[in-house]
Amino acid sequence: MRLRSKILLLAILPLLAALGLIALAVQHQERSLARSEHELVERAYLDARRAELRNYVALAASTIAPLYARADADPALREQALRLLASLDYGRDGYFFVYDLQGTVLMHARQPELVGRNLWELRDPQGRPTIQRLIAQAKAGGGFVDYPWPKPSSGEAAPKLGYVIALERWGWMIGTGLYTDDIQATLAELGRQANRNIATTLLAIAGIAALGIAAVSAGALALNLSEHRVAESKLRLLARQVQASQEEERTRLARELHDGVSQTLVSTKLLVEAAQASGATEPLGRALERLEACLDEVRHLSHRLRPALLDTLGLPAALQHLAGEIEEAAGLPVELRLDGAARELPAELKTALFRVAQEGLTNAVKHAQAAHIELQLGFEPGAVRLQIRDDGRGFDERAVRLHPEQGIGLRNMRERLAALGGHFEIQSEAGAGTTLLAMLSTT
């Protein structure tokens, strides 16, 4: 793993760890608050229901109080009391019931079919004796009992909170109750709301984490791009320096060949000519021919390394001389066209364009099998353009570019221009010739 990646991880991992701990703390706190809220709501609801049930039972007791207060034990009074209690109800599921203290149903406003049945052994799904618990609470002075009972409006068993009292003299238990399934539904909705709030909070924290990671990554990317641009700039500068040093070396070598070897060969030629003038002609003639060939080769090598015209008369003259050399060596017509007003270019620009022209013309002669080559140099505002077009056989530029052992000259041209911030383009098709375009900015 690279150092930059390690630094990025060291920045992101603590952020994720901190946000994870915050998420756990927030989740724990919200769940604790939800439990507290659940308990408060449940207690408030139950307290309200208990107060309501006490009031209902007190109302029922006061309704039959005049009858209960009479000293006679007339059964008709008890029947009248049962009818009064049966007529009292509240809401769809609010009613009163009366049992004797042995568990027999004396009155049930919503389930008259139970009247006369003894439910002493009735038990709830948990095995608890329902009626026995109610009667025991009534005998103990009255109170509340939780138990399940069928709901009149739906016929299904639901949790119920009952309140009962005992009428000891008549041997009765009077009570009523309120179903608490609505409380459970309200508490369940509060729980779902709490879970939604927790989920929303966690999503917000996840969003913050994503934004934090994106910000860190963006910063790292910006730093990486900045470093990449700096490195690319340094590479271009280094490439330009390498090319400049190459050109300086070529210039030095060309100068030494011209001023040293060339001068020596010229002197030798003069001596041989003098010897030839004195008499012995045949050996000296052959030596003279060899010296002239050697001198031509040295001059040609000197010009190939660094044409003097490039530094003295400029790029157009150097290209004209190059075109003439190609025509003379290959017997191939090379047409040079100049567009725009010629102007002096920086040394590195004209050197780069001359090398591109040199390589392009050499490729056209060696590989294109062209009948005609056109070399065009254009001076534009803020730029200079060099175009080499031949009518040869063309080639598959993409295949050559991908092949590791082909197109070295084309890659050299492309890299040379790229080092100067220029543009290099190749257009070629089989049988349709090739066009090379080099563009460099002069601003």
For the chain, 443 residues long, give each residue's pLDDT as a single digit of tens.
Answer: 565 666 667 777 777 787 788 878 877 777 777 777 778 777 888 888 899 999 999 999 999 999 988 866 678 889 999 999 999 888 778 899 999 999 999 999 889 999 999 999 999 999 999 999 999 999 999 999 999 999 887 888 899 999 999 999 999 999 999 988 887 777 777 777 777 877 888 788 788 878 877 777 777 677 667 776 776 776 676 666 656 656 666 665 666 566 656 666 666 677 677 766 666 666 566 666 666 766 666 656 655 555 666 777 788 888 888 888 888 888 888 899 999 888 888 888 888 898 899 888 888 888 888 888 999 999 998 899 999 999 888 887 777 766 655 667 788 888 888 888 899 998 888 778 899 999 999 88
* Token pair belonging to 235: 């590479």
Cβ distance 241 to 249 under 8 Å? no
pLDDT attached to residue 14: 78
pLDDT attached to residue 167: 93
Distance of alpha carbon 147 from the chain centroid: 57
Interatomic CA distance for residues 413 and 343, integer angstroms: 23
The topology (CATH level 3) of 3-179 is Beta-Lactamase (3.30.450)
CATH 3.30.565.10 intervals, the chain: 314-441
pLDDT attached to residue 185: 77
**Beta strands 423-428 and 383-390: pairing type?**
unpaired
Interatomic CA distance for residues 209 and 258, integer angstroms: 72
CA angle (89, 94, 98) in 5-degree steps? 75
Distance of alpha carbon 179 from the chain centroid: 54
pLDDT attached to residue 238: 61
Q: Does domain 314-441 have CATH number 3.40.50.300?
A: no
Interatomic CA distance for residues 426 and 101, integer angstroms: 111
Q: What element of type H or E holds 170?
A: none
How far apart are the two ends of the chain, measured CA to CA in Å? 42
pLDDT attached to residue 97: 95
* Residue 149 exposure: Cα atoms within 13 Å on the Cβ side: 25
The residues with which 367 forms a beta bridge, in sequence order, are none
* Token pair belonging to 370: 């062209």
pLDDT attached to residue 36: 78
Q: What share of the chain is helix, strand, coil (3-state, %, to 5)?
A: 60, 20, 20
pLDDT attached to residue 161: 93
CATH 3.30.450.20 intervals, the chain: 3-179
* Residue 275 exposure: Cα atoms within 13 Å on the Cβ side: 15
